[in-house]
Structure 1
C-alpha cells in the first residue's frame, strides 16, 4: 500500500524536474550560442577586414548591410569573400533564430552581474514652461526659479498645484504668459498638462529609439511617477558615451558658407575693431594684410576650378562630403601643414593660421579667439544674415598640432534635420579616395520633401560650400560640384565606428522636446560584474559545502537526504527565475538575488533540522522508525509553515514596493521559500518513505 502511495509523488516530482530542465535549457543554450556568435563575428571581421564592432553593430540590424559591403570591397581575395559569405549565411540563418529564441527565454541577469547603467531621469518641465511661454521677462523667470526650487526640494510634489500656487502668490493668471490671453487657469493648466504629458511620452519614445539603436540588449525604459523616467542599460561599457547620447539635442542643419571675399572683409574689420582699442599698435604701419583667400582663390571659385575630385564610384549622385572638400585658394597650404599668418601685428588675425584655405585657430589660441568673438561689437560688424561657427573637432596638421576651423556661414539653414529620413554607418570602400578605404562613414538619406529642397539648393549653389551643422558645430563643409537629385549624401571623417554610430543614432532619433536631468546614476563595469558573479558563486558554493558537511556530520545518513533536497532546491530556484522571466514577469538574477539564494540555503536545511529533531524526540519515546518519521514530519509541519509564510509575506512586500537591488533580493527569496518548503517537506519525506517501504528499519542514522 505504501508503494502505491509513492507513485503519484514520484510522478509529480519528476514532472517538476522536467519542467525545470525545460526552462533552464535555454540559458545553457544561449551561453553556448553567444560564444559561437562572437567567434563567427570575429571570423567575419578578419575575412572582410572591417572592425569587429562594425560587424556586431550590423550583423542583425539589416541582413543586406554586410552583404552589400562585401560586394564593394576590392582589396580582399575571392577566397576571403567566399568564406565571409558562408559565415554570414551561417550567422544570419539558423544561428540568428536560435540566439534570439534562447536569449528571450534565458535567465536575465541584473546590471550588477553583467555590467551596465542605472539612470533615473527627470524631464525638465520648468524648461518646458519656458519653451511654451508667449513672452519671457524677469518676473516670469523669478516665478519659474521658485517653482524649480520647490520641485527640487520635494520631487513628489504635484506639478500643477505648485505652478498655480506660485502664480497666485504673484497675483498673476497663467494666461498672461501661456495659452490664449484671457483663458482661465483651469484651461491653461489643461493645455500645459497635455503638453507636459506629450513631452514625457515623446522623451520616452526618443530615449527608447536612441537606446535601441545604441545596441543595448533588453534595456528597461519605464515611466516613474509623473515626471521621471527609469533607465536600466545592461552591458554598457562606456557610461560617458551613453550619458552623452541620452542628453544630446541633435539639431541638424545644412548652411551655406559665405563667399571668400565676404569672409576676408570680416577678418579685416575685426582687425580694425581690435586694433583701434590697442594703443601700442599703430595700425597705419602694419605690414601686408593677411589673406586666407587671394585673387587666384576667388578666380578659382568663379570659374569652378575647385579641384579634381571625382564623384564616388558607388553612386555618382551621392554627395561625398569628404571627397568634395577641396582647396579654395592658392594661399592654402598643403593638406598636412598649417601656415602662420603673415601679419603678426594684427590683433585678431595674428592668432589665426591658414589651413587648406580655411581659417584655423591653434588650440592654444582658442580661448582668446572665443573671447574676442564674444565681444558685443563683433555682432555689429558681422555681415547681414551670417554667423561664425566652429568645427566640431580639431584638425591635426603636419606639425602634430591641433587646429580648430572657423567658418562664416549664413544664419538661416537651407535644410534642417526634419528633412532626414535615415542615417546609417557604413565602411568606405575607398571610391575616389583610396586612403579612406576601411574608414567609417555616415550615409544620409533625405525624405521626399527634403530631397526636393536639397536638389534645389545644390542646383542653385554649384561651386559653393554647404556646411553640415550639428548642434552649432560644423562637421563638414564640402563644395557642391553638381545638382544632387536623389537626396543622398555621405559624411566621412569619423575617428571610429562608435563615433560615427553615435552621430547617426542622434540624427535618426531626433531632438528631445525638453531637457532631461540625471537625478540618479549607478554604473557597474563588465569586469566588476564578472567579479561579482565569481565572488557570489564562490560564496554560495562555500556556504553550501559547509552546510552539507554540517548536515552529514551532525545527522549522518539523514543529513545526506537533506543535502539531496538542498541541491534540488537550488535547481528549482534557478528554474523559477527562468520560468518567470520567460513569462515576462521580470524575474532577474542580481547580486542581492545571489544573497537571497545563499539565505535560502540556510533556510532550506533549517526546516530539515526541525524535522530531524522532532524525529529524534519520537525515537527517544520508543516508537518505530516509520512511526517516528511520520510523527516528526506531522509535528514540525506547522512550525515550518508558520516561519516560512511570515518570511514569504515580508518578501512579497519587498517585491511590491521595493526597486532595484531590493526587488532582486525579494524575487529570489520568495522563489527560494516556496521551493525550500517543497524540497524540505515533500522531497525528503518521499525519500524516507521510499527507504522504509523497501525494508523495515530497526534504527535510523539521524
Structure 2
C-alpha cells in the first residue's frame, strides 16, 4: 500500500535538488551579481585581469541566475510619462508637403501656380491660382492617400482632402489619428526600453498605462532626474536645407520654413526648410569618436535609402550650407564641399566626451516619435530599499519559525517531515523565480510569507485524516495510505481556487500586484508538490526502514 516506484522517487528528489541548486546563488547575492556583471563586461568589452578575477568569484559549473530585486527593494527611479501624441500630426504633414508639391507641379497648366498657406498644426493648406482646376487638384492629392492597416481603421484612408474656393486642405483622418496614437505610444515604449538597456540597468519595468501613458521603473539608477536625462530627450536628428541665417529669433520664416537656434553659436538663428532631406530614422549606426582636431564628435551611417538621399542632395547642392538639427537646435551647419557618397559622416560641435557618448546612445536607440510630459517622478534611495529587505526578512523568518515550531509540537516526527518539506518548498520558489528571471518586490515577499503559512495547510489536512483513520482502528500503513487518499480532494479544491485568484491578479493587475500573484501562484504549486509527494516520500522511506507496529501523529 505504501509503495512508490523507484523512478518516481528519483524524479521527486531530482526536482528538489534542482530547486536547491537554482536557489543557491541567492544565498550569495552580491558575489554572484558582481560575477555576472563582470562576465557581461568581458563579452561586451573584452577580458581584463580585474574582470576575470571578479568573474571567477562564482564557479562556472553552478547556476548563476538571480531573483532580481524590484524598485522598492533595490532603490531607483520611478517615472510616469505622458506621450504627446499630437506632435506626430504636424510632423506627418510636414513630411507629406514635398509629395503634395511634387504631384501638383506637372499639372500647373490645369491648377495654376500654388502656394502653401498658414494653417493650424497638423494641417496643410495650399492656394491654387486656377479654381477651375480644383477637381483635378483634389484628385491628384487624394491619390497620395494610403489605406489604414490597423483593425480599428480597416477600410479608411490615412488622409482627408477637401477643397473650398481656391484652398485645398489636407489633414489626417480620425481613424488614422487613432492608429497613429497607438503606433506612437508603442514606438516610444520600445525606444525607451532600448535607451535604458544601452546603459546596462537591471530588469527595468517599462509598460504602457492607459491610452497614452508609460510607466518606467528602473532599479539601481541614481535619481529620477538622471533617468529623465536619459530618456526625456526626443533625439530627433534631421538634415535640413538652410534658407537663411540671422540673429532675430522672431524673424519671419515663411510658409514651410522654421527658425531654430544654433548650439555652437549663441545668438545665431537659422531659417531652415521644415521638411528634412534625411531623418535620424534612417540611421543604422552612431558611435562616439573624435574629429580631425581631436575634439569629441559622433560618427554616423545611414541605411541604403538614407544614403541615396544624402548622396543625391550633397551632389546637387555643392557650396550650400546644410544644417544638422537635433531636437530643433542646429548642432552645426557646414557648407557642402563635395559629393558625399556612402551615407556616412561625422557630427561635430562643442561636445564633452560624455555628451558625445550619450548622443550616440540616443541616436542608436532611435528618435522618440513624440515628446514626453513627465506627470510623476520619484527617487527611492537604496537605504529605503534595504529597510524593506530587512523588514521582509524579519517577517519571513518570524512566520517560518512560528510554523516550524507549531508543526513540530502538534505532529511530532511527522511535523518534522513537514518542516523539511517546507524548507524545500521555499527553496523551490526561489529556484523557479531565479530560473524565469522574475523581479521580487515587497508585495512579492508578502506572497512568500503567505505561502509559508499556507504551505502546511495541506499537511495539516493529511495528518488530521491519518489521526482519524488511526482512531477508527486502522493499522499504521493503512492509516497513512487512507489519510493521503482521502485528503487529496480537499487539498486540490482549496489550492485550485487560490491559484485561480492568483491567475486573475496576474492577468488584471500590474507592477506590484503581479509580483504578489507570481509568488503566490508559484507557492501554491510548490506547496502541493511538497505536501503530496515530498512529505509522503519521506514518511514512506521512514516507514520502510522502521516498520513500526503503531504510530502517533
Q: TM > 0.5 between the two?
A: yes
Partner of 2:496: 645
- Give distance in 1, aligned partners of 2:362 and 2:409: 63
Deviation of 1:544 after TM superposition, in Å, equals 1.1
Partner of 2:286: 423
Following superposition, the deviation at residue 521 of structure 1 comes to 5.5
| Partner of residue 222, structure 2 | 237
Per the alignment, do residues 452 and 488 of structure 1 end up closer, same or farther by CA in structure 2, a change over 3 Å counting? farther
> Counterpart in 2 of 1:10?
9
Whether the 8 Å contact between 1:388 and 1:407 is mirrored in structure 2 is no
- Rounded Cα–Cα distance in structure 2 between residues aligned with 1:474 and 1:186: 28
- 1:488 corresponds in structure 2 to 346
In the TM superposition, residue 455 of structure 1 has moved relative to its aligned partner by: 9.4
Q: How far has the Cα of 1:129 moved from its partner? A: 4.6
Distance 1:545 1:248, change over 3 A: same
Q: For residues 652-679 of structure 1, what are the alpha-carbon distances to aligned partners after superposition, in whole Å with 9 as ceiling and x for unaligned?
A: 2212222211111111111111211221
Q: Deviations over 1:203-235 (max 9, x none)?
A: 344334433334334545555665454545444
Consecutive unaligned residues in structure 1, runs of 5 or more: 42-55, 64-84, 141-159, 164-173, 267-372, 393-404
Q: Decide whether the 8 Å contact of 1:123 with 1:516 is kept in 2.
A: yes
How far residue 565 of structure 1 moved from its aligned partner, in angstroms, is 1.0
Deviation string, structure 1 residues 389-436 (Cα, Å, up to 9, x no partner): 4758xxxxxxxxxxxx7332432289875486543235x7x9967xx8
Matches within 5 A, 1:321-336: none
CA distances 1:105-153 after superposition (whole Å, capped 9, x unpaired): 6544434334445555444344445656797459x9xxxxxxxxxxxxx
Contact 1:387 1:408 in 2 (8 A): no
Q: TM-score, normalised by structure 1?
A: 0.55
Contact 1:442 1:504 in 2 (8 A): no
Aligned with residue 672 of structure 1, among 501, 511, 523: 523
Separation of aligned partners in 2, 1:187 and 1:38: 48
Following superposition, the deviation at residue 616 of structure 1 comes to: 3.8
Which position in structure 2 is the counterpart of 1:313?
none
- Structure 2 residue aligned with 1:575: 431
Give 3-state SS (helix, strand or coil) of 1:423's partner: strand
C-alpha separation between the residues in 1 aligned to 2:331 and 2:486?
A: 78
The counterpart of 1:443, out of the listed 265, 290, 298, is 298
- What CA distance in whole angstroms lies between the structure 2 residues aligned with 1:254 and 1:7? 72
Show CA shifts across 1:536-589 (max 9, x none).
Answer: 23322232122222322333322211111111111222233344x17xxxx543
Map residues 97-112 of structure 1 onto 2, 5 A cutoff: 106-112=66-72
1:33 and 1:458 mapped to 2: Cα distance?
Answer: 58
SS at 1:181 equivalent: strand
The question of whether the paired residues in 2 share the 8 Å contact of 1:386 and 1:408 is answered with no
Choose the corresponding residue for 1:408, options 249, 254, 268.
268
Instruction: Give matches, 1:434-583, under 5 Å.
Output: 441-447=296-302, 448=307, 450=310, 470-473=326-329, 487-491=345-349, 493-494=351-352, 497=354, 499-518=355-374, 524-579=380-435, 581=436
Query: What corresponds to 1:124 in structure 2?
Result: 84
CA contact (8 A) 2:238 2:325 kept: yes
Q: CA deviation at 1:680?
A: 1.9
Q: How does 1:180-191 map to 2 (within 5 A)?
A: 180-181=161-162, 188-191=173-176
Q: CA deviation at 1:601?
A: 0.8
Distance (Å, rounded) in 2 between the aligned partners of 1:603 and 1:14 = 22
Shift of 1:180: 1.0
TM-score by length of 2: 0.67
For 1:460 and 1:388, locate their aligned partners in 2 and report how far apart those are by CA, in whole Å: 18
Cα distance between partner residues in 2 of 1:646 and 1:692: 33
- Equivalent residues in 2 for 1:610-649, closer than 5 Å: 610-620=461-471, 623-649=474-500
Q: Deviations over 1:141-183 (max 9, x none)?
A: xxxxxxxxxxxxxxxxxxx9xx9xxxxxxxxxx99x9621179
Greater C-alpha radius of gyration: 1
Q: Alpha carbons of 1:500 and 1:112: their partners in 2 closer, same or farther (altered >3 Å)?
A: farther
Structure 2: distance between partners of 1:684 and 1:40: 40
The answer on whether the counterparts of 1:388 and 1:406 sit within 8 Å (CA) in structure 2 is no
Partner of 1:689: 540
- Residue pair 1:588, 1:664 contacting (<8 A) in 2 also: yes
Secondary structure of the residue that 2:266 maps to in structure 1? strand
Cα distance change, pair 476–102 in 1 and its aligned pair in 2 (3 A): farther
The change in CA–CA distance for 1:629 and 1:530 in structure 2 (over 3 A counts) is: same
| Structure 2 CA distance for aligned equivalents of residues 457 and 443 of structure 1 | 23
The structure with the greater share of residues assigned to strand is 2
Q: Kindly tell me: are residues 425 and 523 of structure 1, through their superposed partners in 2, closer, same or farther at Cα, counting changes over 3 Å?
A: same
SS of aligned partner of 1:406: coil
User: SS in structure 1 opposite 2:272?
Assistant: coil
The 3 A distance-change label for structure 1 pair 228 and 62 is same
> 2: distance between equivalents of 1:630 and 1:460?
92
Residue in structure 2 matched with residue 36 of structure 1 by the alignment: 35
Aligned counterparts of 1:135 and 1:256: Cα–Cα separation in 2: 20
Question: Residues 452 and 686 of structure 1: is their aligned pair in 2 closer, same or farther, counting only changes over 3 Å?
Answer: same
Shift of 1:40: 8.5
